[in-house]
Each structure stands twice: as structure tokens, then as C-alpha cells.
Amino acid sequence: MAFGLLNALLLLIATLMPLPFNGLEYGWSQASSLMILQGVVTAAMIYAASEKLRGSDIGLKAFPASIMSYVLWLCMFLRWVAQ
């Protein structure tokens, strides 16, 4: 849950003040699709973590999927930075 909230904070900071990575700015003007995807993945991660803490079935099944979706987003982000 804390990692998802930290990720949401990073997204909020990047929305308000673009972050420089390898000569590119991670902000709304250059990376809007990555930021939208990061928001969706973050929301899924926070929801799955809260449901897992409650002990529900969906939390137990969705939590590994949300972690994997974050890893895929991270791969897309690293590919974007490497351009």
C-alpha cells in the first residue's frame, strides 16, 4: 500500500512540475500516455493492496497482477527514457 501511495505522490509531483530524466521531461506535455497508465496502475495497486489487507478473494488475486502491471509500466518507462 505504501509503495502505491508513494507512486501516486510521484505522479502528482510530475503532473505539477515535470521531472527530468536523461534529457527528457516526465511531464504531461511529453509523457501523457505514460502518466495516464501510471495513474491506472497506481490505482489498481492501491485498491488491490487494500483488499488484500481486508483478506478478500479479489485482493489475493489482483495484488500479484497489479505488481506485474507496475513492472510492465516500468519497462515502458525505461524504454521511453532510453530513446
Beta bridge partners of 24: 21
pTM for this entry: 0.85
**Average pLDDT over every residue of 43-55:** 93
How many domains is the chain built from? Answer: 1
Determine contact, residues 76/34, Cβ cutoff 8 Å.
Answer: yes
CB burial of residue 66 (10 Å; 0-12, 13-18, 19+): buried
Query: What does the pLDDT look like over 6-40, one tens digit per residue?
Result: 999 999 999 999 999 888 899 988 889 999 999 99
How far apart, in whole angstroms, are the C-alpha atoms of residue 13 and residue 68?
A: 24
Query: What does the pLDDT look like over 60-70, one tens digit per residue?
Result: 899 899 999 99
Q: Domain containing 57: what range?
A: 2-82
